Amino acid sequence: MTVRVRGYALPHGEYVDLYADGDRWTTDPVRGAELASGWLLPGLVDAHTHPGAEKPGDPLDEQLLRSHLNQHVDAGVTAVRSPGLAGEPPDWFGTDPDLPRAWHAGPWLAQHGQFFDGWGRRADHAALPAIAAAQAARTGWAKIIADWSVGDDPVPVEVLTAVVDAVHAVGGRVAVHTQHALGGVAAVTAGVDSVEHGMCLDPGLLTRMAEQGTALTPTLSAFQSMLPTVHSRPDSPVKEWLLGGASVHGDLVAAASEAGVRVLAGTDSVPHGRVLDEVRALAGAGMRPHDAIGAASWEARAYLGLGGLELGAPADAVVYREDPRLDLDQLAHPVAVILRGRRVR
């Protein structure tokens, strides 16, 4: 049945009345269309999630992948970006009409001796640009692990710069994992497209990120939920690093938003479908509720090339009874989730 959405559309709050013509919004009325009305978001996005595996090192499991993606849809997520997957996803990933649109970077690309055992691909510095470009040519993205644990050398800035050049040359984009100050410097200097986590990033780099369009996916709620476990560990350099970085990560997020950096909501955690937790964390850190929701919706959609609630844009929407900016808890209770022009929840 054709879907019709009517109400106040965020981010601007203008009144819209749209019909889904297949996977496109139109204003041409369709008789008998199923109406969902209220406050409308153009679909939520989880910009950092690794569906299909339960714990690091596990192979990609297609049944689990489907179930994780269903949990995302339950939360109103109509698009995901997976900066790293445990294996080659099946053809239906990103195209199944009942599951979110999807972008992915294939396996994580890391230096020898870094990252989770059993996950990702290791490469010499000299080979990294070509491998990343080949991946991005296939799926649009490459994901580089720029740094890993305490005392590890980050990927040198010349290597990251060569990666960015090679990936951009094939029309792709580079997402970079960094959780140390030096890795952050290398990523921002190299001009990567997104900094993932960004823990311990020098706030002095935020202006440059905003200027060159480097997005930040802080995965803040994942850090916050890890803190109690880290606190209970015996003292060690790793504990000191995690506590030091995580305790100021919220401040970094607020400063990034203030500086005009595009902040993206990413959960990076199990169970899946908890993008609302990240929105709450972003708002709790000091982002305006409007911007915290935008990080999980219109900002992320624009970043991925998806339009909003406008003529001709892909027909995704999440409908709420009240303005979610005034009450973030609204996000936990969507009235309707519309994906590719069909009501799926």
Q: Which residues bind Zn ion (CB under 5 A)?
A: 268
> Which structure tokens are listed for 198?
């960004």
Which residue type sits at 210?
A: A
Nearer to Zn ion, 217 or 257 (CB): 217
Residue 85 CB, shortest distance to Zn ion, in Å, is 10
Q: How many helices (H) and strands (E) does the chain have?
A: 11, 16
Task: Find where tokens 């339009």 sit.
Answer: 307
Nearer to Zn ion, 268 or 277 (CB): 268
The three-state secondary structure class of 17 is strand
- How many residues make up the chain in this entry? 345
Residue 60 CB, shortest distance to Zn ion, in Å, is 14
> Which structure tokens are listed for 235?
């003292």
Which residue type sits at 60?
A: L
Half-sphere exposure of 291 (CA within 13 A, CB side): 19
- The reply to whether omega before 154 is within 30° of 0 (cis) is no
Nearer to Zn ion, 278 or 316 (CB): 278
Tell the burial category of 338 from Cβ atoms under 10 Å away from its Cβ (0-12, 13-18, 19+): buried
Residue 248 CB, shortest distance to Zn ion, in Å, is 20
Residue number of the CB atom closest to Zn ion: 268
Residue 201 CB, shortest distance to Zn ion, in Å, is 16
Residue 268 CB, shortest distance to Zn ion, in Å, is 4
Residue 266 CB, shortest distance to Zn ion, in Å, is 8
Residue 33 CB, shortest distance to Zn ion, in Å, is 39
Nearer to Zn ion, 268 or 316 (CB): 268
Q: Measured on CA atoms in the order 249, 254, 259, 261, is the torsion positive or negative?
A: positive
Nearer to Zn ion, 120 or 308 (CB): 120
Nearer to Zn ion, 115 or 241 (CB): 115
Q: Hey, what's the torsion of the CAs at 134, 136, 139, 143, to 10 degrees?
A: 110
Task: Single out the residue of 22, 13, 23, 27 nearest to residue 5, CA to CA.
Answer: 27
Q: Hey, what's the torsion of the CAs at 140, 279, 322, 11, to 10 degrees?
A: -50
Nearer to Zn ion, 268 or 291 (CB): 268
C-alpha–C-alpha distance, residues 249 and 42, integer Å: 28
Residue 19 CB, shortest distance to Zn ion, in Å, is 37
Q: Are 149 and 114 in contact (CB under 8 A)?
A: yes
Nearer to Zn ion, 147 or 268 (CB): 268
DSSP state for residue 263 in the 8-state scheme: B
Nearer to Zn ion, 238 or 311 (CB): 238
Residue 315 CB, shortest distance to Zn ion, in Å, is 29
C-alpha–C-alpha distance, residues 183 and 21, integer Å: 46
